[in-house]
């Protein structure tokens, strides 16, 4: 099933509802997250999110590469993770808490809590947040990143994300970062395409390009 949404319709909607954001849309140029076109496996995606938590991108990438090598796999699915004992994961640089989170992820996968991509397609955003946050180490922010960058859901605004808040600060010329509650209210006008607004705010915050925040230092979960 195709993932993502009509970006042109979203751009028109945002420009109409928020002319200031519309000017930024024109300034930052095309946005087309390639993750929407790539196949993914949910356990692998969530395991990588866990491994990237609270680390710089470079440090996390090094640890992930070690885990892949130890498992002899490019996909960190439940089978690959199951081949590694705790000592091996720790030797790769995985913290004790993250080892436990990975084990819990595999248990929830076996129990059916973590749905397949096909099943995810029939679930709404709130249901996915409720299901996946049952896993140790998976908070709302992590699920929101899955919704945005893997599933391409159209109306996700991660108000606890530091980059999104920084972008909103630039957008409105604020002296301080907006509080999550204030940003949630500010974003009401952007629905039902708040995902594109989030992507623009990230680009405004970093001044370069839209990157998946799971690959930069975490600020929420």
Question: How many residues in total does the chain contain?
Answer: 221
Catalytic residue among 18, 155, 161, 221: 161
What's the CA gap between 5 and 184, in Å, rounded? 21
Contact 194, 144 (CB under 8 A): no
Half-sphere exposure (Cβ direction) of 177: Cα atoms closer than 13 Å: 14
How far, rounded to the nearest angstrom, does the alpha carbon of residue 150 sit from its chain's CA centroid? Answer: 8
161 three-class SS:
coil
Contact 206, 163 (CB under 8 A): yes
How far, rounded to the nearest angstrom, does the alpha carbon of residue 132 sit from its chain's CA centroid? Answer: 13
Q: How would you class 33 by CB atoms within 10 Å of its CB: exposed for 0-12, middle for 13-18, buried for 19 or more? A: buried
End-to-end CA separation in angstroms for the chain: 29
The two tokens of residue 92 are 């790769």
Is residue 155 annotated as part of the catalytic site, yes or no? Answer: no
- Which active-site residues does the annotation give? 161
């Amino acid at each position: 099933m195709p993932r993502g949404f009509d970006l042109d319709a979203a751009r028109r909607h945002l420009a109409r509802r928020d002319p200031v954001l519309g000017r930024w849309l024109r300034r930052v140029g095309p946005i087309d997250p390639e993750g929407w076109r790539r196949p993914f496996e949910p356990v692998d995606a969530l395991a990588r999110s866990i491994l990237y938590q609270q680390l710089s991108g470079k440090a996390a990438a090094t640890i992930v590469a070690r885990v892949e090598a130890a498992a002899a796999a490019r996909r960190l699915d439940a089978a690959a993770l199951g081949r590694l004992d705790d000592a091996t994961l720790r030797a790769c640089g995985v913290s004790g808490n993250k080892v436990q989170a990975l084990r819990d992820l595999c248990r929830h996968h076996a129990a059916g809590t973590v749905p397949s991509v096909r099943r995810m397609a029939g679930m709404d955003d709130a249901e996915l947040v409720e299901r996946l946050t049952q896993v140790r180490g998976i908070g709302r922010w992590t699920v929101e990143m899955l919704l945005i960058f893997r599933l391409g859901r159209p109306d996700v605004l991660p108000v606890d994300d530091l980059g999104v808040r920084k972008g909103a600060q630039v957008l409105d010329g604020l002296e301080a970062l907006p509080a999550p509650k204030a940003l949630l209210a500010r974003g009401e006008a952007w629905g039902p395409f708040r995902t594109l607004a989030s992507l623009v705010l990230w680009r405004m915050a970093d001044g370069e390009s839209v990157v998946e925040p799971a690959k930069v230092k975490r600020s929420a979960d």
